[in-house]
Amino acid sequence: MSGAVPVTVATATKGNIGVYLNAIGTVTPIYTDSITAQVTGMITAVYYREGQTVHKGDPLIDIDARPYTAQLEQAQGALDRDQNLLAEAQMDLKRYQDAWAKNAIPRQTLEDQEKVVLQDQGTVKNDQGTVQYDQVQVGFCHINSPIDGASASAWSIRET
């Protein structure tokens, strides 16, 4: 029986094999993303640690939103004011239309009021755009992870 190998029975277990290799190398992440702030301001909160794995949508950084929130309030105030001016101009137009139907005012007065309503409608539309823009700016103050499974690094988030 030369060349025979003795066989023994053992129970399979889960664990480390114990083979380690020490070497110099570079770790390359599978996913990377460079994030640039779209607004300027003081960083008020950091929600990750160096090397932490983050998931898509996880909060990373908060930038002070107070200046942008104040601008949004101003824009909303202007929109409210101009919507009320439009409502007043529309009420006056209705009165002028009724008066014109009774030949109580000249046609020019009615036409002038129609143009005032159109001007106020344009102002309201402009105000709505300003409010939407300011809402986007406030949203930019909260930076979330754009991808899943990234390892957060302090050097990967830059403010311009």
Whether the model pTM is above 0.85: no
Length of the chain (residues): 160
CA angle 64, 67, 73 (to 5 degrees): 125
Residue 150: the pLDDT is: 59
List of the chain residues with pLDDT < 70: 1-2, 27-30, 149-160
Say if residues 137 and 69 touch (Cβ distance below 8 Å).
no
Residue 152: the pLDDT is: 61
CA distance 119 to 89: 10
Query: Quick one: tokens of 47?
Result: 């929600």
* Tens-digit pLDDT profile for residues 119-156: 999 999 999 999 999 999 999 999 998 888 656 665 44
Residue 4: the pLDDT is: 77
Residue 120: the pLDDT is: 98
Residue 109: the pLDDT is: 97
- The domain ranges of the chain are 35-159
Residue 155: the pLDDT is: 43
Query: Quick one: tokens of 19?
Result: 């083979």
Residue 94: the pLDDT is: 98
Sign of CA dihedral 36, 38, 40, 41: negative
- Identify the CA nearest to 78 among candidates 140, 150, 134, 160: 134
CA distance 47 to 4: 63
Residue 62: the pLDDT is: 96
For residues 15-37, one letter each, b for 16 or more C-beta atoms within 10 angstroms of the residue's C-beta and e for the rest, the string is eeeeeeeeeeeeeeeeeeeebeb
